[in-house]
Structure 1
């Protein structure tokens, strides 16, 4: 294979998981290929029990998939190092998080779409297995749309007729804090006005100093992005409880069509730029997409709900 071969698989029992993944990993080991596992603890334990002591590199799934931008950065560094060391083929199997394991899906759906471009330069066979016992139907639909290949029951990859280039059309899901009236609401504000309003509004929260700094930066950056690339009016809102804060910026434009926007660093003037990438690496959650109100960027600090 050349370039990134992005494949998914579906299973409904532990034995089915092993039947799909063990041959995939054993094939990499026999070929002398760098072989990586980044799965949840339960699946990692199953694989270690089935494979025994091997040269497989095990990455803690919770760490590898803490944020989409972190996952991309870590994988690209890993692939670059192995390629520089002479590897001509690599294999990776990873459990991408989703609501069935308590994680919001929007930015992971974007990750699955972005992976097709983010890893395209590397000779990697990536397998993303999904457990049908825990994965919601709408997530499975996005998985089909974002993977060019699906593993057959025999383990042989086949082209996926359901694959669609570009971003999946996952519905925007407002945060639960948005059920209340916003504490701050501004229209076409300057970045400075947003920073001042946010600093004043979150003074009574229990955010750490780092989270406070990240939130003020995030709010300023999202508004700047809207003013630069969006279509007026630019509407800024903020909600908060004692421990968590959500900010949202909505404009009437279409938003970026590039799946990589915010997930990889860029300074290109025609894209969302470096700021959204930093946003994705500092906030606990970032959502980007269109709904009836327009294109909205949401970010939360203080944990996910």
Structure 2
């Protein structure tokens, strides 16, 4: 188990060693907020499963919310050679589906989801058990239950600051088959980095929350 850490991390953290993610061994660092675009289940799993498995093997906290796959299938995908039951029991691995999180009221309420992530991150920080965390949110549900555009923008622009508050990397997963052109443009603007084809790319189209609001004014 990683060494103990302070109950609360400062907003400006010292540089940390990059964590590796994905089948092509891509590096993510603390404070990263990354949008992973993919086509279909195979590409989703090529991002999701190595990200979680690599974290568990490294001793990282792993927390994922999935939608187009079930938590039990994620467990099966990452479980070979790992004591998944033990990891779940210890709290190192947490998995949820969208009905428990994004859609727990039947629709998407960004404030409730923000509270969910903030509460989990603060609780883990207070426990001081893990030096690093990997957080995943899969957003395929938005095709079934289309949210207000401003709700998605609010949620994703908030995530920039959230990623910087704690020693973790945030990976948002979006299936390109399920996205309209309008929301795709918003996603391009609300993520500092993109994960495409196994590469993490700096996003030249990214806007801060204030910049995004000014651009839409």
For normalisation by structure 1, the TM-score amounts to: 0.51
Distance 1:71 1:95 in 2: 13
Aligned-partner Cα distance in 2 for 1:136–1:45: 29
Question: Given that residues 18 and 46 in structure 1 are in contact (C-alpha distance below 8 angstroms), is that contact kept between their aligned partners in structure 2?
Answer: no
Q: Report the 3-state secondary structure (helix = DSSP H, G, I; strand = E; otherwise coil) of the residue aligned with 1:4.
A: coil
In 1, the alpha carbon distance for the partners of 2:56 and 2:201 equals 22
User: In 2, distance between residues paired with 1:10 and 1:41?
Assistant: 14
Quote how far apart the aligned CAs of 1:102 are. Answer: 2.2
Q: Which residue of 1 aligns with 2:153?
A: 109
How far does the alpha carbon of each residue in 1:102-159 deviate from its partner, in whole angstroms, 9 at most, with x for none? 22232122110111124421112111010111111211111111111111322x4221
Gaps of 5+ in 2: 1-15, 17-28, 88-92, 104-108
Equivalent residue in structure 2 for 1:9, among 24, 32, 36: 36
Correspondence 1:39 to 2:76? no
- Correspondence for 2:134 among 87, 91, 99: 91
The structure with more helix, counted as a fraction of residues: 2
The answer to whether the 8 Å contact 2:33/2:193 transfers is: yes
Whether the aligned pair in 1 keeps the contact of 2:38 and 2:176 (CA below 8 Å) is yes
* TM-score normalized with structure 2 length: 0.70
- Counterpart of 2:200 (choices 157, 165, 169) is 157
Q: Kindly indicate whether structure 1 or structure 2 has the higher relative contact order, using CA contacts under 8 Å at least 6 residues apart.
A: 2
Match in the other structure for 2:182: 138
Note the alpha carbon deviations across 1:49-99, whole angstroms, 9 max, x for none: 312362221123223213211111121111111112222210011123664
Counterpart Cα distance in 2 of 1:47 and 1:7: 20
Q: CA shift at 1:20, angstroms?
A: 1.2
Query: Which residue of 1 is the match for residue 121 of structure 2?
Result: 79
The 2-side partners of 1:68 and 1:149 are apart by 21
Distance 1:88 1:97, change over 3 A: same
1: CA distance, partners of 2:138 / 2:211: 19
Q: How does 1:1-305 map to 2 (within 5 A)?
A: 1=16, 4-40=31-67, 42=69, 44-52=71-79, 54=84, 55=87, 56-66=93-103, 67-86=109-128, 87-96=130-139, 99-106=142-149, 107-154=151-198, 156-166=199-209
Q: Structure 1 pair 4/139, CA: closer, same or farther in 2 (3 Å)?
A: same
Any stretches of 5+ residues in structure 1 without a counterpart?
Answer: 170-256, 259-288, 291-305
How many residues of Structure 1 are paired with residues of Structure 2 in the alignment? 172
RMSD value over aligned CA atoms?
Answer: 2.5
Q: Which has the greater radius of gyration?
A: 1
Q: Secondary structure at the match of 1:129?
A: strand
